[in-house]
Chain A
Amino acid sequence: SSELTQDPAVSVALGQTVRITCQGDSLRTYYATWYQQKPGQAPVLVIYGKNNRPSGIPDRFSGSSSGNTASLTITGAQAEDEADYYCNSRDNSNTLFVFGTGTKVTVL
């Protein structure tokens, strides 16, 4: 399968922890990469590889994986974390990329 499935929406209270999941067969082989997209802006890379953050991404963002499920955790969510989050990975053919369906995170 070349699909990555995410919950459409989650909400989190300010300062609390939220976990966003991404499910797909390819995640048994490849790490998921995570992107944050705010309205009217291009996506921004937030987590890549096993659990790596690009320069400038706060350490409240972390990634993990188990079986066919990858997770992005925001520990101590801030108002500025309200955004759409997408996972992506290679598919099992290793020649194609697939993006997840996206999760809208609302910070209450």
Chain B
Amino acid sequence: QVQLQESGPGLVKPSETLSLTCTVSGGSISSSDWWSWVRQPPGRGLEWIGEIYHTGSTNYNPSLKSRVTISVDKSKNQFSLKLSSVTAADTAIYYCARVAYSGNHYGDFDFWGQGTLVSVSS
């Protein structure tokens, strides 16, 4: 059973960079799957941030692309999110998730981390 766990600061100051790491256990980050970040502002819906493959290939949400970097560390079975120049609008629960492409899956978010709340405030 694949498990994902987000980690990182719960409070970030405006204009600074939000940094989160997702640790994958129970499976290899070098599988045929992609790895994604999704966020959810309090009381609102889900927003896809971006995804990465173990080769380093990435896709980003155009609305965030200028501020987002997703990277992978295969040696640690981790992938990370950096979001620069944050404002209060970036306050959200941030989830990491596996985007499955194995078996009969074709781009389904089948395993999710528990989520971590990141607040942007001075």
Contacts and interface: CB of A to CB of B under 8 A. Distances in A.
Contacts of A52: 104
A96 B61 contact: yes
B79 interface: no
A44 B113 CA distance: 10
B79 to A, nearest CB: 16
B113 A48 contact: no
Contact of B107 (A37, A90, A99): A90
A54 B110 contact: yes
A100 B38 CA distance: 13
B109 A88 contact: yes
Interface residues of B, number: 23
B109 A49 contact: no
B73 interface: no
Contacts of A45: 108-110
Given A48-B108, A99-B46, A101-B45, 15 more contacts: A33-B107, A33-B109, A35-B109, A42-B113, A43-B38, A48-B110, A49-B104, A86-B45, A88-B46, A88-B109, A97-B36, A97-B48, A99-B38, A99-B45, A99-B47
Interface of B: 36, 38, 45-48, 51, 59, 61-62, 95, 99, 104-110, 112-115
- Closest 5 A/B residue pairs (Cβ): A48-B108, A42-B112, A99-B46, A97-B48, A102-B45
14 contacts: A30-B107, A42-B112, A42-B114, A43-B38, A45-B109, A48-B108, A86-B45, A88-B48, A96-B62, A97-B36, A98-B48, A99-B46, A99-B47, A99-B48
